[in-house]
Amino acid sequence: MRFIFTNDDIGGTDNPQHIRWFEEVCAWLEGMGIPGTFFWVPFAGGKPGYEKKDLMKAVERAKTRGHDFQLHGLRHDTCLEFGLPSKNSTILNTKVLNEYESNRKKWEKEHTVERLGEKINTGVKIYKQAFGRKPLVFRSPCFGMCGEAYKALAGAGIKYSSSRGINPLATAYTATKNPEHRRWDPDFRLPAEFEGVLEMGCMEDLVIFGLPENEYADRIDLFKSEMKNYIRELGDRGTGIFGSHYWAMMSAWDRVRPLYEELFSWLRSIGVSGWTTFSKSLK
Ligand SMILES: [Zn+2]
Domain 2-281, CATH homologous superfamily name and number: Glycoside hydrolase/deacetylase (3.20.20.370)
What is the CA(244)–ligand 1 centre distance, in A?
10
- Quick one: which of 223, 210, 201 has its CA closest to 143? 201
Residues with CB under 5 A from ligand 1 (ion): 8-9, 141
What is the spatial distance between Cα 25 and Cα 253, in angstroms, rounded to a whole number?
Answer: 10
* H or E segment and range at residue 27: helix 16-31
Q: What is the pLDDT of residue 236?
A: 80
Q: What is the pLDDT of residue 191?
A: 77
What is the CA(171)–ligand 1 centre distance, in A?
15
Tell me the per-residue pLDDT of 104-114, one tens digit each, with 9 for 90 and over: 999 999 999 99
Domain spans of the chain? 2-281
Beta bridge partners of 6: 37, 243
Q: Where are any strands of DSSP class E within 102-141?
A: 137-139
Say if residue 195's pLDDT is above 90: yes
What is the spatial distance between Cα 263 and Cα 31, in angstroms, rounded to a whole number?
Answer: 16
What is the CA(193)–ligand 1 centre distance, in A?
22
What is the CA(72)–ligand 1 centre distance, in A?
7
**Percent of the chain surpassing pLDDT 90:** 95
Averaged pLDDT for residues 93-101: 93
Q: What is the pLDDT of residue 159?
A: 97
Tell me the per-residue pLDDT of 35-44, one tens digit each, with 9 for 90 and over: 999 999 999 9
What is the CA(269)–ligand 1 centre distance, in A?
30
Q: What is the pLDDT of residue 283?
A: 72
Say if residue 267's pLDDT is above 80: yes
